[in-house]
A and B are shown apart, each in its own frame.
Chain A
Amino acid sequence: MRQGVLFIMLLLTLSLGAQEQDLDLDALLDSLDEDSLFGLTEEEAVEEVEEPQLPLEIIEVKEKKFVWGGRIYSDLGSSFVWNDFNGWADETRWDPQFGLDLYFDARPNSNFRVFAKGKAFYPFNGSVTNAFSLHELFADFNWDNKAYFRVGKQTINWGVGYLYRPTDKLNLSTLDPSDRESDLEGPLALKTQIPLGANTVYLYAIADEIEHPEDITYAPKFEFLLGNWEFGLGGILNPSLAPKGALFITGPIGKLDFFAEALFQYGSDLVLKENQLVLSATAGLFFRNADKRFIAIGQYWYDGEAQSADDWSKIGHHFAGVTLEKGFLLQPKKEKSGVLNLSLLWLGNFSDYSGMIMPEIEWEFLKYASIAIGGTWRYGNELSYYRYTGPGTASAPMEVKLSLRLGYGSF
């Protein structure tokens, strides 16, 4: 059954919530017998409506003007660490994780918004005031809906990679492939955003922990569409750092989404490469089928400014990552069903042949409660990329973690 609105393609995610039409869902389901469902005459089935309100009020006025929200998570887990594969674990650790993200979103009017988000982690550093760290704090306003401004500490949207994002030299934290959906901590910045139809011009002025105006980093970016492909051109300019240019590409290859980004810099901020062009680039494919609860990502990364632990002159490490995530409904014909989530992450470095494999099985046996077993197997010598942790130290090759996750969720 069709109608000339294209809304339904939007429905890519799942959820639980309330309804506007004062619905009794059970009654609705019961009424699927046609006599009760079509118990009205045609005149009664069609409700003539006046324009109920200005359409934008749907989000701008009906939304609460001040909203608190956040996320709580807990992982009561123990880790078992093997330094070699002979016998029982060499080390056992009680490794609990407990934390809270808390935000507020205040919108006194449609052209002014203040948002702040803080994070707290166990063991909370001894006091409530020390527990929270500010993750974001910014204000939004716009000039006649032609230019949009965000000022404050903010996560910067820079890069299209899912596992590696070599162009992102702006956020204070870097993307962790084993926690790819986590939010990055951003700097103090002014973002100016100018929409030009489907295209967008950005200019970031980043002033995080600087002492002089001339130390401000400027990062312009232009995103534009060519057919089904989106391209982005950007730059990062700071007088004391290597000048950088960035290229972003996303588009379809069959049912897969292709993504790529490249960073061109003259010199490097990390290694001694003055007066030469340094290239870092990444490309990959993304596939998602929400109906089958399946995600697959494969990504290659050429790190032009990489350095190995044992050979600091070594140039050009090659990395790759693959992640597979699959969810299953258990006993789908029973009244209540658990969910089984499987995930597998492989990260590899082709330059020193090191890597890590992280499988996990999680059973959500109740809403807000799950049990999981996961492992991390690192391979490569002790000076390799995925094992070296500092002078004289290296990660153990094998770790298994049992987790009991209770009372987690968003609010």
Chain B
Amino acid sequence: MKHWIITIAAILGLGLQLGAQTITEDNILSRIDEKLNFQSDFSCQFTMVTYRAGSEPTTQQMSLFSRPEEIDGEEKFLAIVMKPDIDKGTGYLGQGDNYWIYDPESRRFSHSSARDSVQDSDMNNDDLGTANFEDDYKVTAMTEGKLGQIDCWIVDLEAIRENVDYQNIKLWVGKKELLPYKEQDFSLTGTLMRTVLAPKWSLIEGKYIYRQVFFVDEIRRGNKTILLFDNVSLSSLPNHLFTKAYLEGSSR
């Protein structure tokens, strides 16, 4: 009996090993994209701390709900600011290219569809969308190394599309989970522009989601942005959540 169990376990183990793809320059980007992308509703409590040289850090905390394009045909989101007090109740509602800012003081919705900037943070537009390393970049070099205690693939990327924020990227990808723990972004001239550090992750329903992310501006020294994610959920959200009426009622 024991032999059978050992034999089955060995076969399963072998099968798992055969099933696990060897990581190469050709497949590492698609594997990272697979790890990071999910096509389900998402909600969390989200905190952003922004450090600017010469001024006190600013922090914003909000409840965030989002729905990917795959579910309703267009992306949707709802966010309500919880802190600070001066912005408490300010709401953001997004649908496709349109978004509305709700001001609880004037009870007014301002509609906009100019989604050009993530303002006053060290993030860029490329940080916002679906992970798409495979379509945007090609691997030019791949070596092994360590990042703290983590054994990594160190991957040099070069842009293959024009509309990306950075021409070259260096990624530190954990060998075990294939998560990008560190990213350095370079300009066309090779200047280091920004470093992104993602030391902590959540695993929920088989999907990996950031818990902490640090964005460090390498040009304007001292400028940093920290993102923190709590109470993360991938549960389905009701349709009525993504409406002006719900936002108005949930805001102060």
Contacts and interface: CB of A to CB of B under 8 A. Distances in A.
Interface residues of B, number: 133
B187 interface: no
B179 interface: yes
Given A3-B209, A332-B53, A195 B201 contact: no
B231 interface: yes
Contacts of B86: 15, 409-410
B248 A193 contact: yes
Interface string A266-290: 0000000000000000000010011
B19 interface: no
Contacts of B188: none
B192 interface: no
A103 B118 contact: no
Give the residue among A11, A16, A105 with the most B Cβ atoms within 10 A.
Answer: A11
A45 interface: yes
Given A55-B43, A198-B95, A291-B120, A17 B59 contact: yes
Contact of B85 (A11, A329, A411): A411
B149 A29 contact: no
A178 interface: no
Interface of A: 1-21, 23, 25, 28-29, 32, 34-43, 45-49, 51-56, 58-60, 63, 67, 69, 103, 105, 113, 115, 140, 142, 145-146, 148, 150, 154-157, 160, 181-184, 193-195, 198, 200, 223, 225, 227-230, 250-252, 254-257, 286, 289-291, 329, 331-337, 367, 409-411
| List of 10 A-B pairs having minimum Cβ-Cβ separation, nearest first | A38-B148, A17-B83, A332-B54, A290-B119, A195-B243, A55-B43, A15-B84, A228-B113, A145-B240, A20-B230
Given A7-B77, A55-B43, A148-B249, 11 more contacts: A1-B180, A8-B227, A10-B99, A20-B228, A42-B179, A45-B179, A46-B179, A48-B204, A58-B43, A200-B244, A291-B117
10 contacts: A2-B36, A4-B131, A15-B58, A16-B56, A17-B60, A23-B228, A58-B233, A255-B116, A256-B114, A331-B54
